Amino acid sequence: MRKEIIKVGLLGMGTVGSGVLKILEMNREQVKNRAGAAIEVKKILVRDLHKKRPVNIDRQQLTTDPRDILHDPEIDVVVEVIGGTGDSRRYIEEALRHKKFVVTANKDLMATAGTDLLLLAREHNRNIYYEASVGGGIPLIRPLKHSLGANRIIRLLGIINGTTNYILTKMSMEKMEFETALAEAQARGFAEQDPSSDLEGKDAAYKLCILAMLAFNCHVRFEDIYVQGISGISKRDVFYAGELGFAIKLLAIGEEMEKGLALKVHPALIPLDHPLASVYYENNALFVVGNAVGETMFYGLGAGALPTGSSVVADLIDVARNINHQVENGVMETDFQAKSVVPIDELPSAFYLRLQAVDQPGVFARLATAFGDARVSLDMILQKRSVGGMAEIVLVTHAVEEKSFNLALETIKSSPVIKKINSVLRVIEK
């Protein structure tokens, strides 16, 4: 029987939950027309019934008891926007066991337990919708599941953390020091007071788990991803990168290679003529290479109440359509293949190296010998004016297996004329 009203239980009323409510109100008729039914939020789980809310809401809709949502037979869909991996997982599992569809914006949970939850959904003839878990308002999940389904995805290259991109943009465009750019990001609400998950690359790695799972049709564990953050990057690195024709970005990279998958998150120099080099401030982008479609890119705001709320409501529209067309479990992504992940030291990359050396004859000969012995060829070299008898040297190599570069680096570190290795970064070659 066709439903005229799809009833929703909302778990959480923070930034994203409030955004969902705002969109459902301001686009009420459009949402109804596209969903084929009215979408009504019946109950909202909150911690504090008396807290002032950023949206007008009937207090009778609020509850502190999750059972008022999870056990209510009238509620068709549970929307989880509380975050974390504890209560949120238990609530989603209980919702599925009570035959409710689930919409979530929870990247941490989908990255660490997504496969188990999808299997549970299949067991109960329901589905989990998670467009909002990656990329905020940018459509990424649907394109990988549907629009690009005819492709073998070769490569993902993404800027999928707005905090780090904001900081690196400020360091590049306004010559800010790292600490100053971070403080501004926090003041403007683009960074948490504890920004470690963003700065260390963990947030981007969780998102890469989800994207790689869909792109390469395999289960991806967070532990399989090499993760390095941006805290070691200085204003000098950003300056030299620009001088060499590059921008520095925190990149999430997934690539299918002959011997397995490359999965990594790290800062890298990317050519200024690459589309991702022009992604500034808090914006996100995902650059996808498919064997049929070629190169394509998705771009926009990767976080925020309305962008993320937009993706949640889009999922609600899909759920409403599926309910009224009696499509219970939709398209499931649980038939994964087993694929190995290539260790980071076996992956090829070009490298950027900044070091301080004694300003005397023979330094370049020692460097050339160290790289030559490890079979690493050099692409670019910069030497800056000597200060106090010390020269700053910047080198960029051609692509080589990481373990070969590391072998050369150990030799260089042991040289008496090399006083300090200031920075090592990977390079996306032109």
14, 80: one domain: yes
CA atoms of 170 and 419, how far apart (whole Å): 30
Q: Which residues pair with 286 in a beta bridge?
A: 158, 298
User: Given pLDDT bands bounded at 50, 70 and 90, which one contains residue 333?
Assistant: low
396, 248: one domain: no
- Examine the pLDDT at 334 and tell me if it is beyond 90: no
Query: DSSP 3-state assignment of 266?
Result: strand
- Examine the pLDDT at 332 and tell me if it is beyond 60: no
Query: DSSP 3-state assignment of 2?
Result: coil
Residue 249 annotated among the catalytic residues of the structure: no
- The answer to whether the beta carbons of residues 405 and 247 sit under 8 Å apart is no
pTM of the model: 0.94
Number of domains in the chain: 3
125, 204: one domain: no
Residue 376 lies in domain? 344-427
123, 30: one domain: yes
- Examine the pLDDT at 413 and tell me if it is beyond 90: yes
How crowded is the C-beta side of 242, counted as CA atoms within 13 Å?
13
- Examine the pLDDT at 189 and tell me if it is beyond 90: no
118, 63: one domain: yes
Which pLDDT score is estimated for 429? 85
Residues 12-23: pLDDT tens digits? Answer: 999 999 999 999
Q: Which two tokens stand for residue 293?
A: 């479609």
309, 167: one domain: no
Looking at 32, 100, 202, 207, which residue is catalytic? 207
Residues 370-399: pLDDT tens digits? Answer: 999 999 999 999 988 777 888 999 999 999
Task: For CA atoms 165, 167, 170, 173, give the dihedral sign.
Answer: negative
- Examine the pLDDT at 116 and tell me if it is beyond 60: yes
Which pLDDT score is estimated for 87? 95
CB neighbours of 138 closer than 8 A, spacing ≥ 6? Answer: 284, 285, 286, 298, 299, 300, 301, 302, 307
- Examine the pLDDT at 329 and tell me if it is beyond 80: no
81, 126: one domain: yes
CB neighbours of 343 closer than 8 A, spacing ≥ 6? Answer: none
Q: How many CB atoms lie within 10 A of CB 318?
A: 20
- The answer to whether the beta carbons of residues 142 and 238 sit under 8 Å apart is no
Of 301, 333, 352, the domain-final residue: 301
Residues 76-109: pLDDT tens digits? Answer: 999 999 999 999 999 999 999 999 999 999 999 9
What angle separates helix 202-215 from helix 107-123, to the nearest 10 degrees?
30
150, 272: one domain: yes
- The answer to whether the beta carbons of residues 81 and 315 sit under 8 Å apart is no
